[in-house]
Amino acid sequence: MPELYLDCPAGIAGDMFLAAMADLGVDLAPLRAAFAKAEVHVEITALDAWDKGIRGKRMHIAAPHVQPLRHLAELTGIVRALPFSQAVRSRSEDALTRLAEVEAGVHGCAVADVHFHEVGAVDTLVDVVGAFWALETLGIRRVTCSRLPWFSGTVQCAHGLMPLPAPATAVLLQGKPVYPTDFEAELITPTGALLLDRMVDEFTCGPTGRLQRSGLGLGTMELPTVNGLRVLMLAGDGPGLERIMVLETNVDHLTGEEIGGVFGVLLDAGALDVLFLPGVMKKNRPGGLLQVLCKLEDLGRIRDLTFAQTLTLGLRITETTRAVLPRAASARSTPWGDVSAKDTVIEGERYSRPEFEALQALAKRTGRSVAQLRYLLGED
């Protein structure tokens, strides 16, 4: 399972991340085509560029017409029209909502009233959506990052002259490790801080794993050092770590058949796992604990579906980290034909376990039971 490490001694902007992903090998043509299908026509190109003699990529994003100031609902409407996976759209909407909430807090207004100004420009929309799409394209499930450089100075924006870091950037950087520098320039833009806030799983002192390749996304400012964001793609040495959400509720008002029906609906909707632990509830009623696991980007959808399917009045929601072994699908050869299996590697040893449904189909063809086949295949 590949991981990504962000090395940002010169900070990060949204276009620098997308340029670095292009330098890593991501083809941006599908991104441009997706926006065109959503009736947002924009040129999206990563060009070869140099800074201090070092080659990298620099983004060129240009729309043929002047872009309007947009509210959150207009931006999310565009995102929902993009022909991308539900995960990419959900993560993009989540990021834009987070930015709107931060801007509303900074300016003391309602989220619905936030005009995104520079943030509403099409280039920032491309940066946000493109970031999550690029991660999915490369199969990146975990992102780590270096400490972040602190900077000072001022920047001219739609509200006038602002101190650096910009107010929204400062809020988005809360809780993240920083170190002082002498830079008087905007090293981290609001969009860059937003990506850090929504993408990074952990801040570390360096990358861990086997380095596969690297990419460099260049900014436009002239700095004493190379103005670039370096991304490192690594193959993990062990189980990959990923953030997941745990939803729990106590259930004593559903029949066994109704609880069983909830399992199928939630799993078909993308829940990672569903568990019911029976017990005795208040007033000695039989009941139990319903637990649902889902990806972070699926939380809103799975949460609402759990409420609708169970009619529970409350859900406990926590975020946790799980270790996941790399897995791959394969066709295992047997004396009675091939069966699909899941393969994984533990401490250098490869293990293959046939899928239960494949064994069921094989059992029907051979007249043997699944238990017999597992024994014959050494799976007992």
Is 153 found in the same domain as 261? no
Q: What is the pLDDT of residue 379?
A: 56
Q: How confident is the model at residue 364 (pLDDT cuts 50, 70, 90)?
A: confident
Q: How confident is the model at residue 329 (pLDDT cuts 50, 70, 90)?
A: low
The mean-pLDDT minimum among 208-217, 244-253, 331-340, 358-367 falls in: 331-340
Q: What is the pLDDT of residue 134?
A: 96
Question: Average pLDDT in the 275-300 region?
Answer: 90
Q: What is the pLDDT of residue 350?
A: 72
Q: What is the pLDDT of residue 380?
A: 45
- Report which residue type is found at 27: D
Is 134 found in the same domain as 33? yes
Average pLDDT across the chain, whole number: 88
Is 255 found in the same domain as 320? yes
Q: What is the pLDDT of residue 354?
A: 81
Is 94 found in the same domain as 18? yes
Quick: pLDDT tens for 35-50. Answer: 999 988 899 999 999 9
Is 9 found in the same domain as 149? yes
- Rounded Cα gap, residues 291 and 144, in angstroms: 29
Neighbours of 155 (CB within 10 A): 14
Q: How confident is the model at residue 332 (pLDDT cuts 50, 70, 90)?
A: confident
Question: Average pLDDT in the 240-262 region?
Answer: 88
Question: Using CB atoms within 10 A of its CB, is residue 265 exposed (0-12), middle (13-18) or buried (19+)?
Answer: middle
Q: Name which of 149, 132, 143, 150 is nearest 207 in CA terms.
A: 143
Q: pLDDT at residue 171 above 70?
A: yes
* Helices (H) then strands (E): counts for the chain: 11, 18
Query: Of 305, 324, 343, which residue sits at a domain end?
Result: 324
Angle at 42 between CA 38 and CA 48, to 5 degrees: 135
Is 154 found in the same domain as 42? yes
Q: How confident is the model at residue 373 (pLDDT cuts 50, 70, 90)?
A: confident
Q: pLDDT at residue 31 above 70?
A: yes
**Domain tally for the chain?**
3
Q: pLDDT at residue 359 above 80?
A: yes
The mean-pLDDT minimum among 66-80, 86-100, 178-192 falls in: 66-80
Q: pLDDT at residue 191 above 90?
A: yes
Question: Average pLDDT in the 180-186 region?
Answer: 93
Q: What is the pLDDT of residue 365?
A: 85
Q: Which residues contact 244 (CB under 8 A, 6 or more apart)?
A: 272, 293, 294, 295, 296, 319, 320, 321, 322
Query: Of 235, 263, 278, which residue sits at a domain end?
Result: 235
Q: What is the pLDDT of residue 184?
A: 92
How far is C-alpha 158 from the chain's CA centre? 30
Is 227 found in the same domain as 254? no
Kindly state the greatest CA–CA separation across the chain.
79
Is 82 found in the same domain as 12? yes
Is 89 found in the same domain as 202? yes
Q: How confident is the model at residue 162 (pLDDT cuts 50, 70, 90)?
A: confident
Q: pLDDT at residue 295 above 50?
A: yes
Is 260 found in the same domain as 229? no
Is 216 found in the same domain as 71? yes
pTM of the model: 0.66
Which domain range does residue 333 map to?
327-376
- Report which residue type is found at 23: D
Instruction: Report the share of the chain in percent with pLDDT over 70.
Output: 92
Q: What is the pLDDT of residue 237?
A: 56
- Rounded Cα gap, residues 126 and 61, in angstroms: 8
Is 342 found in the same domain as 202? no
Query: Of 235, 258, 275, which residue sits at a domain end?
Result: 235
